[in-house]
């Protein structure tokens, strides 16, 4: 089946994954904010370790009210903007549309199901090192695998078609049988490295080069895994060592939270830290180290925006 795609947020994720789909011949409609004029006139540029490409003409819009209805909407906004999703989504969803939240964290699908009752929702976990380095200009540094899962999608066939479209576009993709487990697994990396790069003002390479910070990252990973286990998610503790080994081989990288901090944008603390801490606590497990990291990030956020 031919899918009409909508991409909400054409930055590091939306620009890359939407760009790959468009390059492969899929019909993709991009919602942009500050980059609209540039992309409308000059197109989208992706510099990738898998091969650079330029899309001279893209379906670019400054408002979702100008977009056609779409079958699959890839939400690539930061979770700090999720309060705006009901207004954004209303003009572009039809009765069988599926909204895929391509975001980090835990609990956003549940919240969106309350905000927009009746909509089919899935989640997308992107294992990628990618940044937006200029208007309509995406830099893909490493990795790129994506996992797609259902929150309440009644028919999995459209998710299977989405995975096949990504694969045909050159994006390693797979369907998750348990979205909640996939989100916790991604958090095992996101929680230590997003927060530590902010609090210690560094990048992944420097964290891995120092024995103390490397050990701290692994301890945080283990606490995430134990929190997941308490919530009934069967992650193995060996995952922590696997992720440390992977990160040691990774090109030097600043996670999106570090870039948000550097550019004085709100950080995604709620869904990456607060929600997992609350979920583990409700299951009887206190994530003490992660709770401390959450409080440090809250302090930094308040210092920048409230004082």
Angle between the 238-249 and 179-199 helix axes, to the nearest 10 degrees?
Answer: 50
From 20, 186, 258, 275, the catalytic residue: 186
Report the pLDDT value the prediction gives residue 303, as an integer from 0 to 100.
87
Q: Give the domain-ending residue among 134, 160, 177.
A: 177
Q: What are the CB-based long-range contacts (under 8 Å, 24+) for 22-29?
A: 22/55, 22/58, 23/53, 23/55, 23/169, 24/165, 24/168, 24/169, 24/170, 26/165, 26/169, 27/2, 27/3, 27/59, 28/58, 28/59, 29/4, 29/5, 29/59, 29/61, 29/67, 29/68, 29/70
Q: Which of 233, 240, 26 has the alpha carbon at shortest distance from 149?
A: 233
Nearest to 32 by CA among 94, 77, 98: 77
Q: What pLDDT is attached to residue 304?
A: 78
- Residue 214: CB atoms within 10 Å: 15
Model pLDDT, residue 306: 63
Based on the domain organization, do 46 and 88 belong to the same domain?
yes
Q: Answer yes or no: 186 catalytic.
A: yes
| 15 and 57 part of one domain | yes
Mark whether 150 and 195 lie in a shared domain.
Answer: no
Asked whether residue 153 falls in the same domain as residue 59, the answer is yes
Considering the domain architecture, whether residues 164 and 188 belong to the same structural domain is answered as no
Q: Which domain holds residue 194?
A: 181-305
Rounded distance between C-alpha atoms, residue 155 and residue 120, angstroms: 9
- 56 plus 96 within the same structural domain: yes
One domain for residues 172 and 23: yes
Assess whether 212 and 86 both reside in one domain. no
Total tally of structural domains belonging to the chain: 2
- CATH number of the domain encompassing residue 25: 3.40.50.720
**Measured CA distances, 272 to 46, 188, 211, 245, 296 (Å):** 27, 10, 25, 22, 14
Q: Distance (Å, rounded) from C-alpha 124 to C-alpha 179?
A: 9
Question: At which of 177, 194, 211 does a domain end?
Answer: 177
Looking at the fold, whether 159 and 12 belong to one and the same domain comes out as yes
Residues 138 and 224 in one domain: no
Domain identity same for 150 and 135: yes
Does pTM surpass 0.85? yes
Q: What does the longest C-alpha to C-alpha distance in the chain come to?
A: 54
Residues 120 and 164 in one domain: yes
The residue among 136, 151, 177 that closes a domain is: 177
Mean pLDDT by 10 residues, the chain (307 residues): 94 97 98 95 97 97 98 97 97 98 98 97 95 95 95 96 98 97 97 98 97 98 98 98 96 93 95 98 98 98 76
């Amino acid at each position: 089946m031919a899918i009409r795609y909508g991409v909400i947020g054409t930055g590091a994720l939306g620009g890359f994954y939407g760009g790959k789909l468009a390059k492969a011949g899929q019909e993709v409609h991009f919602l942009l904010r500050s980059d609209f004029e540039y992309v409308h006139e000059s197109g989208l540029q992706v510099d990738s370790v898998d091969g650079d490409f330029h899309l001279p003409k893209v379906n670019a819009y400054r408002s979702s009210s100008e977009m056609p209805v779409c079958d699959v909407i890839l939400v690539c906004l930061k979770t700090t903007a999720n309060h705006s999703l009901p207004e954004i989504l209303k003009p572009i969803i039809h009765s069988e549309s599926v909204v895929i939240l391509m975001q980090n964290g835990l609990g956003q699908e549940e919240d969106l199901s309350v905000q927009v009752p009746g909509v089919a929702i899935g989640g997308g976990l992107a294992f990628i090192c990618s940044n937006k380095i200029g208007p309509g200009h995406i830099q893909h540094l490493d990795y790129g695998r994506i996992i797609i899962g259902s929150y309440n999608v009644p028919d999995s066939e459209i998710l299977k078609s989405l995975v096949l479209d990504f694969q045909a576009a050159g994006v390693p993709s797979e369907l998750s049988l348990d979205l909640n487990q996939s989100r916790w697994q991604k958090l095992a990396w996101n929680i230590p490295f997003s927060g530590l790069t902010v609090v210690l003002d560094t990048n992944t390479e420097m964290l891995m080069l120092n024995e103390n910070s490397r050990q701290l990252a692994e301890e945080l990973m283990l606490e995430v895994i134990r929190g997941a286990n308490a919530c009934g998610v069967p992650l193995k503790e060996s995952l922590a060592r696997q992720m440390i080994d992977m990160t040691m081989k990774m090109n030097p990288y600043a996670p999106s939270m570090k870039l948000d901090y550097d550019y004085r944008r709100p950080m995604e603390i709620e869904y990456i830290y607060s929600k997992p801490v609350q979920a583990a606590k409700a299951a009887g497990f206190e994530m003490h180290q992660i709770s401390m990291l959450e409080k440090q990030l809250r302090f930094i956020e308040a210092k920048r925006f409230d004082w």
